[in-house]
Structures are given as C-alpha cells and as structure tokens.
Amino acid sequence: MTIETISEHRCFGGTQGFYRHASTACAGPMRFSVYRPPQAARGHVPTLFFLAGLTCTEETFMIKAGAQKIAAELGLMLVAPDTSPREPRLPGDDADWDFGQGAGFYLDATQAPWAAHYRMHDYVSRELPEIVAKLFPADPKRFGIFGHSMGGHGALVLGLRHPQRFRSLSAFAPISSPSQVPWGIKAFTQYLGPDRAAWTEWDANALVRKRPYGRPILIDQGLADKFLETQLKPELFEAACKTAGQKLMLRRHEGYDHGYYFIESFIEDHLRHHAAALAG
Ligand SMILES: N[C@@H](CCC(=O)N[C@@H](CS)C(=O)NCC(=O)O)C(=O)O
C-alpha cells in the first residue's frame, strides 16, 4: 500500500495534502485529498469522508467549502476522494457532464464497460478508509461521512449500507431518491442496467425503509436551488424517513442555491454534528 504525495500545504496549523495511488477497487490510478488538523500530530483523530457532486474533483471541497478552520478547532481529519475514475479512458466517458467522468455515483457498476473500473462504492467504503487508517493518524472507530448533491446521495447510501463503518452522517442538497429523478435514472440505467430491482441497494429512499441508520441524519437544502424540484425532491426522502422511524433533521434555507456558497454557510453545523456524534 503506497501513495504518492502530489502536494502538501500548511493550513490552520495542520496540513492540507493531495495524493495519488494505484487503486485496486477501481483498477487504475485514483486521487484524493486529506486535511490533517493540528491534533493529528499528537494522536489518532476522528475522520470525515466528504463526497463531492457532479463535475467535481478531490480538490473542490478542500478549496471551496472553507471547512479547515473549524476542522482544526474540532480536531477532525477530512478526506475527499475524486468523484470517478479518470483512467483508463472508457468510450463515452466524457460525452455528458452528468455521467461517466466526474459522475461515478458512488456505486459498483455491473454493466460493461463501466463494471471494470467504476467501483466507487468499494473504493470509498473499503479501500480508501483502509489507506487512511494505515497511512494517516485516523481513528477508524470514529469515521463519519457526508457529501453534496451526487455526493450527498453517496454519503446517504454508504452510511445506510455501512452504519458500523460510518458512525455519523449528513448531506447538503442530496440526490436522496435517485431512482425517481432524471440524474439517477440516467446513471443507474447505464451503470446497473434496466432492472430496477438492482437499483434499490443504491437508493437512499429504498434503503432507509429497509434498514434505518438509527442515529440522526442532518440534511441542509437551499430553497433557491435550481435542481430542487427536478432532481433533489427532499420531500420524498423525508417521507421515507418518517415511515421508517428514522430521525431526520431536514433544514430548508430560503434564498440559498446549489453551489459552494451554500455549503460554506452551513459547513460549521455539519462539522459540529459529526464531532458530537463521534465524541468519546
Ligand atoms: N455543469 C452543471 C452544474 C454542475 C454542478 O452544479 N455541480 C455541482 C455538484 S452537482 C458542484 O458542486 N459544482 C462545483 C462547483 O459549484 O464548484 C450545470 O451546468 O448546471
């Protein structure tokens, strides 16, 4: 298990780093970023995995969310993977911005040609946590997960599928009912095939009805988000949680759109939500 350091930078008394390695899950090179807070110099710290949205990379969250200052205060390590494999290139992988490169949807594809490399679920739920636990001062008993949009979908699905691995969960403007909206239908049809029965293991709305997370889930949603009514539909996940008895703190914010100014505005609340859940 070796990784290559692309760059490292001092940041709020800790270190912001960018790394590259040969992934077994994705059978190719992958990139990720890690923010180590100052407390990581003295011991193992709770660690949050952030999954970014469509068109983003391992850099987007670290550059735009403004999370490091509060992570340094709370002693949280932050890890952000890329949003899809980039190599080897597959036919049509850059034809659309909402499918293929930058749009891995955090699942394990079953359809050719994607199945050989588009295994972001295995990568984020198993391989990357193993690397982080081995090579960084992360406490693997205190891992949490959160994300934005497509990455909010990823966080909800990975949290619901692996509640013992990811012990705290939140999302910004997630695609929380992907089987019922165009982004999800397009991705699932191509990555998983047309049989909708196979989609349910990758759909937070279906998963929460079968096996609730147990601990509270925090979701923030901007009401000026241009994707709210077509792609996000938080009311569907809200209803599923209610049916399942899952505690959901869904906060709707007047005037906020889908972008990182929205995330910046509420990132502190998410970090504090995770820090409290992972304390002790
Ligand atoms: N390219 C799309 C927008 C893609 C987009 O909004 N991506 C979100 C995640 S779904 C994002 O975080 N973009 C990066 C950014 O805002 O910096 C469009 O033309 O509408």
Q: Which residue is associated with the tokens 């295994």? A: 119
* Per-residue pLDDT tens over the stretch 146-157: 999 999 999 999
Confidence band for 280, pLDDT divided at 50, 70 and 90: low
* Residues classed as catalytic: 149, 225, 258
Cβ–ligand 1 contact at 55 (below 6 Å): yes
* Per-residue pLDDT tens over the stretch 3-46: 999 999 999 999 999 999 999 999 999 999 999 999 999 999 99
User: For the chain, what percentages of helix, strand and coil (3-state, to nearest 5) are there?
Assistant: 40, 25, 35
pTM metric for this prediction: 0.98
pLDDT for res 17 = 99
For residues 72 and 235, what is the distance between their CA atoms, to the nearest angstrom?
A: 34
* Per-residue pLDDT tens over the stretch 95-105: 999 999 999 99
Shortest-distance Cα residue to atom 7 of ligand 1: 54
Q: Tell the burial category of 73 from Cβ atoms under 10 Å away from its Cβ (0-12, 13-18, 19+).
A: middle
Shortest-distance Cα residue to atom 18 of ligand 1: 97
pLDDT for res 1 = 82
For the cut 90, the answer to whether the pLDDT of residue 75 exceeds it is yes
Q: Which domains does the chain have, with CATH numbers?
A: 4-278 (3.40.50.1820)
Cβ–ligand 1 contact at 60 (below 6 Å): yes
> For a pocket test of ligand 1, which of 50, 51, 56 has the largest count of ligand atoms closer than 8 A to its C-beta?
56
How many CB atoms lie under 10 A from the CB of residue 247?
Answer: 14
- Atom from ligand 1 closest to the CA of residue 258: 6
Backbone angles phi, psi at 199, to 5 degrees: -80, -25
* Per-residue pLDDT tens over the stretch 173-213: 999 999 999 999 999 999 999 999 999 999 999 999 999 99
Q: Which residue is associated with the tokens 């079968």? A: 210
